Structure 1
Amino acid sequence: MRHPLIIAVFVFIVLTVEAHAQQLPFKVSTLADGLEHPWSMALMPDGKMLVTERPGRLHLIDPASGQVKSVGGMPEVRAESEAGALGLALDPDFASNGRLYLCYSTGWTLAPANRLSAFVLKGNKLSGEQILLDDLPGAKWHNGCRVAISPDGHLFASLGDATAADGAQDVAQRRGKIFRLNRDGGVPTDNPFPGSPVWSFGHRNPQGLAFRPADGALWSTEHGPDTQDELNRIEKGGNYGWPLCRGTDECGKLTDYHPAIAEFEHDRTIAISDLIFYQGDAFPQWKGDILFVSLKTGRLYRLKLDGDKVAKTEILLDDEFGRLRDIAEASDGSLYLATDNGEDQILHVTPR
């Protein structure tokens, strides 16, 4: 027989959770399941979704039906630990040219690397790989590999330090960097280091890139080692400190250091992942805010900004679905979240 006190506590917890859920302006449903470590989502002009799976797969998901189809023509991928098929972005002219950009891990354990390539999607198959950056440093961990297109049409990609931290401070090395390229792979003439794709340096493992619509500024989320995951505003030629400086700490070791806008948290890591600037009408009270997800704590965060400062932080989800890897906004303003637990799903966040 159950003890009355235990029953009472259980009922209290259930009622508390239900009351909290009713206060939230959204509900969460499952769009697709049966996935394995989805890493990056990209919304196509017709509303369908492309999703990379870290083991080396690409899927096409129809939100209207939840149907998941495999896309053929994927390159050979080094899938181990955090390495695999990672960042994905669509060309601004994707509707007419089918071009997309993929950052993925290559080689094997004795010679690990990463690569940024362009492909063309025709029907349900990739073709015509154009390698844009090859032989990028790689490892089992800290590969970065988030991809984004700027408002002015440049291609950006992040790369972690690939577990060799000192290289992040050397602009001649490609580890621990954020890159900027023309979409054909050429190096823009106005990059900060002539002839180099490097846009910023001193990064440990940046896994989120997003451009603020209001001013086109690039922002990034970055994994700290054991504390102080970072939210950064990325400046041209900026040094973000790793491994000499971290978080929002003052740091006299570097004269050109850009400290983080915010850190999460000072005494631990939340394993911060991708971010967006919300622009939709489904949640008008969020417009212009940063939304980001975390792995270790399984959270969805909302940040209200005052200029370049965080004025308010709100946790919208707190480990209800385990690790959260990616976030994307649909054309109707609803949200998609990708879990990263091994047996995974794409979640759909809609107004209540």
Structure 2
Amino acid sequence: MPRSLLRSFIAASLLLSASVAQAAEVKVEVLQSKLDHPWSLAFLPNNQGLLITLRDGQLRRWQPGEGLGDPIVGVPKVWAQGQGGLLDVVLAPDFEKSRRVWLSFAEANSDGEAGTAVGYGTLSDNMQRLENFKVVFRQMPKLSTGNHFGGRMAFDNKGYLFIALGENNQRSTAQDLDKLQGKLVRLTQNGDVPPDNPFAGKQGARSEIWSYGHRNPQGLAFNPANGELWLNEHGPKGGDEINVAHPGKNYGWPLATWGINYSGLPIPEAKGEIVAGTEQPLYYWKISPAVSGMAFYHADTFPQWKGKLFIGALKEKNLIELTLSGDKVTKQTRLLDDHGERIRDVRVGPDGYLYVLTDESDGQLLKISPTS
């Protein structure tokens, strides 16, 4: 049996076998409110607080006992329309030496068409300025009118930067290797292309590409159990997915999908749920929760969470707890059902607590722990 077909049967069996538990009780502490559509957070070392991006273009520092600081100056101008704006924030692996802060954001051209851009600046010692910001990557061509930017970033243990990019709501571009829509890309810490990227030096393909056929990735995290890079992405109406990103692989969109169009009709380009030459998701939801930020729990603080995967849900307005057995999802539990807000990001803090951002005009920073 071809590998892609075998994985499809595995994925289908995982979907059916993963039981959905009732909402679990957790302790929720509101650390900060009045955040205008926060998108991402990153923890500063040595208990210096954390950085939070707001979609309108602000980068703010939050500290326990002191709250939210003034906007950090030196942030690039962002295109804050539709789903666009200031997106992810990630510290460089050598931050304590370099003080580099990486940002992803939406950027438009003179015609009003936008794409995802990525760059870095140096955070001043007083945490008030981002100095000498340099854009090192731009999604080309610019095709978005406000949708599907992706923007999640993650560094691996060798210092390579992965950037997940949406297809700008231009479905077919996810299959075009000469475009950066619907791709996962891999760069060095200086924004260069590693020579061992799967499409490096190949005619008609962008050398930045690591994998392709993605729709709108919203979560990106390395699995500490095996070092694999997992990403989640929005399907259309149905078909939200979790994929394991392998070099050079095609993850199907829009040729293969477990969802349909918002009109209720099939996706025009789709050839079915299972299509030869494309990878099946590790897991998918037939009814989309609208997945967002994603974090593996590997701390020792709460042993009952060890090895679990947490994913925010925008449409369902809750936090999804997934129990894993290797690459198999065996159980789903919904957290924060009572909170009733869109969950944009989730991270594991240095203290082992979960930290969550809610995507609202009066968004919140939440600190979460199990009750038992």
- Normalised by the length of structure 2, the TM-score is 0.84
Amino acid at match of 2:235: G
Of 197, 204, 216, which aligns to 2:215? 204
Of 322, 327, 336, which aligns to 1:317? 336
For 1:28, the equivalent position in structure 2 comes to: 28
Could you report, residue by residue, the CA deviation over 1:301-335 in whole angstroms, capped at 9, with x for unpaired residues? 11111221112211122252310000111111011
- Normalised by the length of structure 1, the TM-score is 0.89
Give the conservation status (yes or no) of the 8 Å contact 1:247–1:262: no
Q: How does 1:246-285 map to 2 (within 5 A)?
A: 246-247=257-258, 251=272, 254-264=275-285, 266=286, 268-285=287-304
Give the conservation status (yes or no) of the 8 Å contact 2:88–2:105: yes
What CA distance in whole angstroms lies between the structure 1 residues aligned with 2:246 and 2:258?
16
Give the conservation status (yes or no) of the 8 Å contact 1:32–1:68: no
What CA distance in whole angstroms lies between the structure 1 residues aligned with 2:185 and 2:145?
18
What CA distance in whole angstroms lies between the structure 2 residues aligned with 1:49 and 1:247?
37
Q: How does 1:173-322 map to 2 (within 5 A)?
A: 173-195=179-201, 196-247=207-258, 251=272, 254-264=275-285, 266=286, 268-318=287-337, 320-322=339-341
Instruction: Report deviation, 1:135.
Output: 4.6
Instruction: Report deviation, 1:281.
Output: 2.2
For 1:169, the equivalent position in structure 2 comes to: 175
For 1:147, the equivalent position in structure 2 comes to: 153
Instruction: Report deviation, 1:251.
Output: 4.7
Secondary structure, aligned partner of 2:150: coil
Give the conservation status (yes or no) of the 8 Å contact 1:35–1:343: yes
For 2:352, the equivalent position in structure 1 comes to: 333
Do the aligned partners of residues 242 and 334 (structure 1) sit closer, same or farther apart at CA in structure 2, a change above 3 Å counting? same
For 2:105, the equivalent position in structure 1 comes to: 104
For 2:15, the equivalent position in structure 1 comes to: none
Instruction: Report deviation, 1:269.
Output: 2.0
Amino acid at match of 2:245: I
- For the pair 1:132 / 2:136, whether they are aligned, the reply is yes
Could you report, residue by residue, the CA deviation over 1:84-135 in whole angstroms, capped at 9, with x for unpaired residues? 0001111011112110111111126623222111111113111112221125
Unaligned ranges ≥5, structure 1: 1-19
What CA distance in whole angstroms lies between the structure 2 residues aligned with 1:299 and 1:234?
25
Secondary structure, aligned partner of 2:344: strand
Identity, % of aligned positions: 38
For 2:115, the equivalent position in structure 1 comes to: 113
Give the conservation status (yes or no) of the 8 Å contact 2:147–2:168: yes
Secondary structure, aligned partner of 1:291: strand
What CA distance in whole angstroms lies between the structure 1 residues aligned with 2:76 and 2:105?
9
Instruction: Report deviation, 1:255.
Output: 2.7
What CA distance in whole angstroms lies between the structure 2 residues aligned with 1:205 and 1:158?
8
* Mean CA deviation greater in 132-141 or 323-332: 132-141
What is the root-mean-square deviation of aligned Cα atoms in Å? 2.0
For 1:89, the equivalent position in structure 2 comes to: 90
Instruction: Report deviation, 1:275.
Output: 0.5
Do the aligned partners of residues 336 and 117 (structure 1) sit closer, same or farther apart at CA in structure 2, a change above 3 Å counting? same
Do the aligned partners of residues 217 and 186 (structure 1) sit closer, same or farther apart at CA in structure 2, a change above 3 Å counting? same
Secondary structure, aligned partner of 1:69: coil
Amino acid at match of 1:50: L
Could you report, residue by residue, the CA deviation over 1:41-87 in whole angstroms, capped at 9, with x for unpaired residues? 10111231101100111000003433333211111110001000001
Could you report, residue by residue, the CA deviation over 1:224-259 in whole angstroms, capped at 9, with x for unpaired residues? 111111111111111111011124999587432111
* Mean CA deviation greater in 128-137 or 88-97: 128-137
Do the aligned partners of residues 252 and 304 (structure 1) sit closer, same or farther apart at CA in structure 2, a change above 3 Å counting? closer
